[in-house]
Structure 1
Amino acid sequence: MSALTELSISVNSFSGPIPKELGNLKELTYLDIGSNNFSGILLPELGNLVKLERLYMDSCGLSGEIPSTFAKLTNMQTLWASDNPFSGKIPDFIGNWTQLTDLQFQGNSFEGPIPTSFSQLTSLYYLRISDIYDGSSSLDFIKNLKSLTELKLRNALITGTIPSDIGECQSLFLGNNSLFGPLPSQKSDQLQTIDLSYNFLSRSLPQWVTTMSQLNLVVNNFTFDSSNITGKGIASLVMYTLDIDCKHVFISSVIRITDADFSINCGGPQVMGRDGKLYEAEDSALGPATFSVTSTEKWAVSSNAGLFSADRNTPLFRVNTHAQVTGIYVSPELFQTSRMSPGSLRYYGLGLKNGPYTVTLHFAETVFASRTSRTWRSLGRRVFDIYIQGARMTKDFDISKEAGGVNREYVSKFYVPVSENYLEIHLFWAGKGTCCIPDQGDYGPLIAVVNAASDLAPIVDGHPPTTPPTTQPPTTPGKKIKTGLIVGIAVLVGVVSLLLIFAIPYMRRKKSEKEDDEDILGLGPRPNTFSYAELRAATEDFNLSNKLGEGGYGPVYKGTLSDGRVVAVKQLSVASHQGKSQFVSEIATISAVQHRNLVKLYGCCIEGSHRILVYEYLENKSLDQALFGTSNLHLDWPTRFNILLGTARGLAYLHEESMPRIVHRDVKASNILLDAKLTPKISDFGLAKLYDDEKTHISTRVAGTIGYLAPEYALFGHLTEKADVFGFGVVVLEILSGRPNSYNNLDLEKIYLLEWVWTLHENDQTLGLVDPRLTEFDETEATRLIRAALMCTQGSPMARPSMSRVVAMLSGDIDIGTVMSKPNYLTDYNFKDVTTFSTGRFLVEDDTPSTASKHSNVHLNYQPEGSNASGANTPGVDPMPSPVNVTQSLLAGIIEEGSDK
C-alpha cells in the first residue's frame, strides 16, 4: 500500500474520522474522499503527501481549519473542498502552489480576505470561491492570472472596481458582492458568460452588452442610455439591467392593487387543487437569467442561474418526474412537475393588498433516489436557503432531510408582512450539497407549489369576495334619465373630489418614499430591509423587558427574528439629532466594511418616520459595562490586551483599508462591544464621517463624547483620523486602569485619568496605573501599552501615530520611541480656577455635572482604594466627561459654533 499512487473512496457513505495512517501513503498523487459522511478535522498528517497533485474532498463532512502542514503540498494542481464547514482564513501559503490549475472553495465558512498571494497562481484556469465572511477583498489579485478561464466569486465580500483586463476569462460570476463603478468599456471575445448581479455598479452601459447571450446585471445602479445601446439586445437589457429594484417595475406595471392571494404550480400546467384553489400554470422555458410576469399580472418568476446554466444538460430548469409523491397536502398533479434552478429562483406577488400574509411552500425531492436504494442517484444532496421579503427564513434547507425521505411532500409556512403591495420569495443556492448527481447541474433550489394568502381578507375560490348587488325600486323613463344624469354628475364630482383628497397625500407620500428609496439606492452597499411590523414582532412591540439600553440617538432593544436570529434593534428616537441623511450615512458606512472587529449590520427599516438599524447581538454587551458596571465578566490581562489589539485593528481597517476611508468620530468604551468569546467589535457608526484622501474637515459638525474628543476636534471642528487615535488612547488607559477617564470620588490628583497618568509617567511610576484587581499582568506589555496611549493622546494630531503603527506598537513589532512631554491641553489649564480661556470659548469650573450621564446605561460600580467618598456606587453615574471639567452649556455652544462654520 505504501507504493499506492491513486486512491478514490468518493461517493460512499463512509463516516467517522479519517485515519491518520492515510498520511503514510507518501507516493499518492491523486486522492478523492469527496461525497462521504466523515467527521472531525482535516488531519495535519495529510500534509505529508508532498507528491499529491489532485485532492478532491468536496462534501466529505470534515471541518476545522486547513492545517499549516498543507504548505508542503507545492505539487498541487487541483483542490476541490466545497460544501464543508471549513473555517478560519484561507491559507496564504496556497499562493505558493504555483502549479495549481483548479481551486474550488464554495459553501464553506472561510473568513476573508482572499489572500493577495493568489496573484502568484499564474497557472490557474478555474477559481470558485463563495460565502466568505469578515474581511473584504478586491480583484487586484487576478490581474496576473492570464490563464484564468472561469472566475466565480459569489457572495465573497468582493469590493472595488472591475479591472479592465481580466485575462482570458470565458465565464465570469461576481454576483452578490459590493463592486462599484462602471463596467469596462471593452471586453475580450472569449468572455461570453457574465453575471454581475446584486452589486453596486453604475453609470451607462457599454455597447458590448448587446452582444451577450448570457448576461445578468440585475440589481445594480446602471443608467440606460438608448443612444448608446442598439440592436436586438435592448429588451433583455431592460430586464437584466434596469430592474434595479424589481418591486418598482412590478407595481408600475400592475393596474390595480386588489389581489389578496396567488397560487402557482411551479414548472407545470394550471391545476385546480383539492383545496379549491386554482394553481396557475408556470411552465415557461426559463433561461439562465430570465424574468417573466404572468398574463394575469398577479405574480412573476425570475431565474438567476448565472454561470451555472453551463452545468445543465437541459437549460429549461424544469423537472418532469411524474413521481408518486406521498403525504400530499394538495393535489398529486401538482407534484408531477417542479421548478429547479442551480443558482437562484424568485417568485414575486404583485399588486397585493397590504397586511399580514401566510406564505405556504410545498417541496418534494423528486430528482434524487432514496438513500436505502444505495444507488448513484441516492447519494445526491440538495441544500439551499429560503428568503422571504429579503430576510433569510431557513438556512441550509434540505428537502429530503426535512421530509424524511425522497418523494415525500414537505410544507413550510411563513408569516410575513406585505407593506408595499409586493411579496418576494427567494430560494438561493449558497454552494452547498452535491453538484453532479445524478447529472451535471442537478443541485440548487427545487420547488413544486407556491401559495400566498392574506390573513385579513377572506378568500373564495382564489378570489376576494365581491359585494352583492343592491335592489332599486322601478322608476319612469324620464325620471330615470334625469336621475341618471344627476347621479352621474354627482358621482363624477365625488370621484374627482376623492381623487384629489387621496391623490395629494399619496403623491406626497410616494415622493417621500421615492426620496427614501433614492437615498438607499444611492448608497454604496445596500443592507437588507425589514418592515416595521417585523421588528415590532421581533421585540415584542419594543417591550421594556427587551430594552438593552439607550444612547444619545435612541433606545436599543433585543429582538428575535422569525428565522431565530437574535439581534439588537436600534430605534432612533424622534428627539434624536440624527436625521435621515445621517441615518442613511450610517447604513452605508457599516455595510461598506466587513471586519471581525467591526459590528455587523443585518439591515434597516425606513418606513414613514421610523429609522431603525438591526445589528448583530453581542452577548457580553459593551466594554464600559464590563469595566465599570455590574457585569460579572472577569477581564484578566490577556483578555484586556486582546481587546485593545482587536479594537486597534478594527480602527486601522477603517482608516487605511476600507474604501472609502472612514473616521469613526466617537471611539469610546461604550462603543466597543464584546461577543461570547470577548472578541471586541466597534459599534455605532452613526457619527462616522467619510472623507477623501488628503482632505480634512475643518467645517464639520462636531459629534462625539466629551472625554474622548481630541482637542482640535472639540475646539475647532478639525477632523482627521487622528481624532479616533486620541479616543483610542483614552480607551487604552481605561482598560489598563479599570477606571473611567474622569471620576470625582478619587483623590484630587487622580480624578482626571490623563493628568494622573502623566504624573505617574514623569515620576517613573507608570505601572501604578494598572488596575489593582489584576493579580497578574505582563509588566513589559503594560509599560508598552501605557507609552502607546501617551503617544495617542498627544495634543497635536501630527504627533499621534497612525492606527496601523499603533497595532505594531501594541504587538511589539516596532519600538515606540521617546514619549514627548505632557501635552499643552493639560499644562495650560488650571482645573480648579474659574477661568475663561483666551479663546473666549469655554469656561473651566469645578464640580460641573456630566453631559453624558443622561444617556448612560452604565451603573458605575467602580470604587478603588483611596476613594474619598463612601457613596461611590451611585446608580446612573457615567464616567466624567473630560480631562478638563468643562461647563456644560458653554461647551455645547462650542459644538454648535463649530457646526456653523
Structure 2
Amino acid sequence: MSIMDNVTGPPKAMPLHLLEEITDGFSEGRKLGGGTYGDVYLGVHKDGEKIAVKVLKNALNLDDKQFEKEYHNIASLHHKNIVRLIGYCNETQREFITHDERTVLAEKTKRMLCFEYMHNGSLDKFISDESNGHNWLTRYAIIKGISEGLEYLHEKLNPPMYHLDLKPANVLLDENMSPKIADFGLSRLVGGDKTHFTENRIGTHGYIPPEHIDAGAISTKSDVYSFGVVIIKIMAGRDGYLRSAEMSSQQFINLVHTDWMNRIRATPVGMYSIQVRRCIEIALSCVETDRDKRPSIGLVVTGLNKTESRSHVLDPLRSQPSLPTSQLCPCITTDHKMLDILKEKLISYQLRITDSRSMEHLVTITTACDPEVGTTSKSEPVRPRIKIIRDYEEGLRMTISMDAHSTKPW
C-alpha cells in the first residue's frame, strides 16, 4: 500500500518502524533541516513517493493530550497555501538508558508529524539564489500565495490561528513554485481577534514585532508584521529590511521600485510598474511600529488583487493559440493607444485569453504585417518601435517604448 493512499482524506497514524525504514533510520543524509522544535527528514517510500517527517524534540514535554491538541490543530487546516499534514506517529518504546551511572529500562515517547514533500525547498533558499533575481512574476505569485494562506488562518478559521514564526525558512515551495506556509510549532488557537500576552518570547529575531519584544503581546498583527519583513526580503534581498530602516519610507519605495524596473527592462515594464510599487508600499505598512496602523491580512489580499486588475497582467502560458508568428507583432489590447508605429497595414483580431486567476477576457489584438512579404514561413514581420501610453486608475500616465520583438533587439 502506498504511503500517500490517504492523501486526500484525514491524516492517518503511521507506525514508527515504517518511518524509520523510509528515512534510513533518520540518517544525516536524509535530514532536510532542523529547528527549535524538531528536525525534518526526507522519507522515500519503496514506490518512490516522498514525504517530510518532522521528529518532535523530547524537550517539548508535551503529554498525550497536548500533542493530540496540536495535531488536531494542524490536521484541521485545508488550504492550497498551507502545507498538508499526511500522517502522524505517537509511540512509546522501552529503551535502556544511563541514569546516575546506572543502566535502567525507561519508557520513551517518540512523536512525529508527516507532511507533503515540497520539491523546491524553502523560500529562504530561493531568496539566496541569485539566478532567481530577475523573475518578478514568480516572486509576486509567492507574495500573493503567502498572503492568501495567512488570510485563511486569520479570517477563514473560527477561532483564528496565529502562526507566530512566519519567515522564509517556514515557507516551502512546491514543484510549481507555489508557496505553502509550514511549521506551526508555535501556533496557538485563540478566541476572536484579540491581543494576548505570553511570558515567553516566541518567534525568530528580525521577524518579531516590537509589541511582542516589549510586552509579549501577540495578535494577528504579529503575523502581518512578519509577513511585511518577508515581502521586503523577497523584493530587496536578505539585507532589505535593514536598508529600509536607514531611509524614509518614500526613499525605500523609490529605491526598490527603480531596482525592479531595471531588472525587468526587457519586458513591457509598464505592466508591472504599479504592482511592484504597491507591493513594497504594502510591505512597509505591515511593519509599522504601531500595530493599529498595520493592515489586516484581508486588506492586504484586496490590495494585491487590485494591482492585478490595474496592471492587466496576463499569463502567456494560458493564452489560446493565435495566428502564425510570421504575421504577428506583440499583442496590444484595446485600452492602449498606438503612436509612432510604422504606417503599414494594420490587422485586428479578437482573441479569448485566460489570465492567472482563470478569468477569461475577450480582447482585440492589433498586429502589423508587411503586405509585400506575404505569409510564407520564411517571411519576417514588420518590426516597429511601439510607443504605448497607458492611463491608470490612480491618474498616473505612463509612456513606454519597447521593441516589438524582444528576442531580436534592434
| Aligned-partner Cα distance in 2 for 1:760–1:537 | 55
1:739 aligns with 2:229: no
Indicate the residue corresponding to 2:369 in structure 1.
none
Asked if 2 retains the 8 angstrom alpha-carbon contact of 1:654 and 1:662, the reply is yes
Instruction: Summarize the Cα distance change of 1:814–1:548 in structure 2 as closer, same or farther, 3 Å threshold.
Output: closer
* Whole-Å separation in 1 of the counterparts to 2:245 and 2:182: 28
Per-residue deviation, 1:554 = 2.4
- Which of 798, 804, 813 is matched with 2:292 structurally? 798
- 1:687-706 alignment runs, 5 A limit: 687-699=186-198, 701-706=200-205
1:761 aligns with 2:245: no
The yes-or-no answer on 1:627 pairing with 2:127 is: yes
Aligned to 1:163: none
Query: Given that residues 660 and 690 in structure 1 are in contact (C-alpha distance below 8 angstroms), is that contact kept between their aligned partners in structure 2?
Result: yes
Q: Is the 8 A contact 1:661 1:692 kept in 2?
A: yes
Q: 1:558 to 1:697 in 2, by over 3 A?
A: same
Structure 1 residue 758: Cα displacement: 3.4
Distance 1:680 1:674 in 2: 5
Q: What is the aligned partner in structure 2 of residue 617 from structure 1?
A: 117
- Once the 2 structures are TM-superposed, how far is the Cα of residue 532 of structure 1 from its aligned partner? 1.1
TM-aligned CA deviation for residue 766 of structure 1: 4.7
- For residues 819-834 of structure 1, what are the structure 2 equivalents within 5 Å? none
Change (3 A) 1:694 1:600: closer
* 1:589 Cα deviation after fit: 2.0
Compared CA separation, residues 769 and 633, structure 1 to 2 (3 A): closer
Instruction: Name the amino acid aligned to 1:558.
Output: L
**Per-residue deviation at 1:624?**
0.7
User: What's the TM-score once normalised by structure 1's chain length?
Assistant: 0.30
User: Could you give the per-residue CA deviations for residues 734-793 of structure 1, whole angstroms, max 9, x where no partner exists?
Assistant: 111132456xxxxxxxxx133046365379545256497655562211110111111111
Q: Matches of 1:787 and 1:603 in 2, distance apart?
A: 40
In 1, Cα distance between the equivalents of 2:78 and 2:202? 24
Q: Which residue of 2 aligns with 1:666?
A: 165
Q: Tell me the equivalent position of 1:176.
A: none
In the TM superposition, what is the alpha-carbon distance from 1:588 to its structure 2 partner? 2.0
Relative distance call for 1:617 and 1:814 in structure 2 (3 A) is closer
Please list the CA deviations of residues 703-746 of structure 1 after superposition, one character each: whole Å capped at 9, or x if unmatched. 1111111111122111110000000001111111132456xxxx
1:534 to 1:803, Cα distance in 2 relative to 1, 3 A: same
Change (3 A) 1:626 1:763: closer
Query: Taking every aligned residue pair, what percent have the same amino acid on both sides?
Result: 34
Cα displacement (A) at 1:643: 0.5
In structure 1, runs of 5+ residues without a counterpart are: 1-385, 396-429, 431-524, 743-751, 816-901
Instruction: Give the Cα separation in 1 of the matches to 2:125 and 2:110.
Output: 28
Q: Is the 8 A contact 1:530 1:605 kept in 2?
A: yes
Query: Taking structure 1 as reference, are residues 715 and 618 closer, same or farther at Cα in structure 2, changes over 3 Å only?
Result: same
Bigger RCO (CA 8 Å, 6+ sep)? 2
**Number of equivalent positions:** 288
Structure 1 CA distance, aligned partners of 2:5 and 2:296? 42
Judged with a 3 Å threshold, the aligned counterparts in structure 2 of structure 1 residues 564 and 806 are, in CA distance, closer, same or farther, namely: same
User: Given the alignment, which residue of 591, 603, 609 partners 2:75?
Assistant: 591
- Which residue number corresponds to residue 723 of structure 1? 222
User: Which of residues 56, 67, 83 is equivalent to 1:572?
Assistant: 56
Mark the CA change 1:707 to 1:550 in structure 2 (over 3 Å): closer, same or farther: same
State the match for 2:32 in structure 1.
548
Q: 1:626–1:718: structure 2 CA closer, same or farther, 3 Å change rule?
A: same
Contact 2:278 2:307 in 1 (8 A): no
Q: Deviations over 1:395-433 (max 9, x none)?
A: 9xxxxxxxxxxxxxxxxxxxxxxxxxxxxxxxxxx9xxx
- Inter-partner Cα distance in structure 2 for 1:558 and 1:718: 36
Question: Secondary structure, in 3 states, of the residue corresponding to 1:812?
Answer: helix
- The answer to whether the Cα contact below 8 Å between 1:655 and 1:661 also exists between their aligned partners in 2 is yes
- Judged with a 3 Å threshold, the aligned counterparts in structure 2 of structure 1 residues 788 and 571 are, in CA distance, closer, same or farther, namely same
| CA distance, structure 2, for counterparts of residue 669 and residue 771 of structure 1 | 24
Change (3 A) 1:668 1:394: closer
Q: Distance in 1 between matches of 2:213 and 2:144?
A: 26
Contact 1:547 1:555 in 2 (8 A): yes
Say whether the 8 Å CA contact 1:526–1:588 is kept in structure 2.
Answer: no
Partner SS for 2:218: coil
Show the counterpart of 2:42.
558
Cα 1:807/1:797, change in 2 over 3 Å:
same
Question: 1:143-222 counterparts in 2 under 5 A?
Answer: none
C-alpha displacement at 1:550, in angstroms?
1.6
1-side partners of 2:279 and 2:253: how far apart? Answer: 17
Q: 2:276 aligns to what?
A: 782
Q: Give the Cα separation in 2 of the matches to 1:673 and 1:730.
A: 17
Contact preservation (8 Å) 1:535, 1:561: no
Aligned-residue offset at 1:659: 2.9
Q: How far is 1:693 from its partner?
A: 1.2
Distance 1:544 1:700 in 2: 35
TM-score, normalization: structure 2?
0.63
Question: 1:622/1:571 Cα in 2 relative to 1: closer, same or farther (>3 Å)?
Answer: same
Are residues 1:684 and 2:183 paired?
yes
Q: Deviation per CA, 1:771-819: give whole Å up to 9, x if none.
A: 976555622111101111111111111111111110011122699xxxx
The correspondence for 1:636, drawn from 135, 149, 162, is 135
Change (3 A) 1:550 1:629: farther
Paired amino acid for 2:54: K
| Distance in 1 separating the partners of 2:47 and 2:292 | 49
Which blocks of at least 5 consecutive residues in structure 2 are unaligned? 93-108, 310-410
C-alpha separation between the residues in 1 aligned to 2:68 and 2:197?
Answer: 23
| Closer/same/farther in 2, CA of residues 700 and 720 from structure 1, 3 Å limit | farther
* One-letter identity of the residue aligned with 1:614: C
**Is the alpha carbon distance of 1:538 and 1:814 closer, same or farther for their aligned partners in structure 2, counting shifts above 3 Å?**
closer
Q: Helix, strand or coil: the match of 2:244?
A: helix
CA distance in 2, matches of 1:636, 1:686: 31
For 1:603, the equivalent position in structure 2 comes to 87
How far residue 583 of structure 1 moved from its aligned partner, in angstroms, is 4.4
- Cα 1:762–1:715, aligned 2, differ >3 Å: closer, same or farther? same
The one-character-per-residue Cα deviations of 1:430-450 (angstroms, maximum 9, x if unpaired) are 9xxxxxxxxxxxxxxxxxxxx
Q: Within 5 Å, give how 1:152-301 maps onto structure 2.
A: none
**Per-residue deviation, 1:600:** 0.4
1:370-519 superposed matches below 5 A: none
Structure 1 pair 650–662 and aligned structure 2 pair: CA distance change class (3 A) = same
Cα RMSD over matched residues?
Answer: 3.0
Structure 1 counterpart SS, 2:53: strand
**In 2 relative to 1, CA 676–756 (structure 1 residues): closer, same or farther, beyond 3 Å?**
farther
**Residues 733 and 753 of structure 1 are in contact (CA less than 8 Å); yes or no, is this contact kept in structure 2?**
no
**How far apart are 1:564 and its partner, in Å?**
4.3
Alignment-derived partner of residue 810 in structure 1 = 304
Judging changes above 3 Å, is the alpha-carbon distance between structure 1 residues 674 and 392 closer, same or farther for their aligned structure 2 residues?
A: closer
| In 2, Cα distance between equivalents of 1:677 and 1:578 | 37
Instruction: Specify the structure having the higher radius of gyration (Cα).
Output: 1
Alignment partners' CA distance in 2, 1:394 and 1:804:
32
Q: Structure 1, residues 35-70: CA drift from partner, whole Å, max 9, x if none?
A: xxxxxxxxxxxxxxxxxxxxxxxxxxxxxxxxxxxx
How far apart are the structure 2 equivalents of 1:656 and 1:692? Answer: 12
The verdict on how the C-alpha distance between 1:546 and 1:583 changes in structure 2, with shifts beyond 3 A counting, is: same
User: Is the CA contact 1:738–1:771 (under 8 Å) kept in the aligned structure 2?
Assistant: no
Are 1:623 and 1:672, in contact at CA under 8 Å, matched by a contact in 2? yes
Is the Cα contact below 8 Å between 1:663 and 1:688 reproduced in 2?
yes
Q: 1:212-269: per-residue Cα shift (whole Å, max 9, x none)? A: xxxxxxxxxxxxxxxxxxxxxxxxxxxxxxxxxxxxxxxxxxxxxxxxxxxxxxxxxx
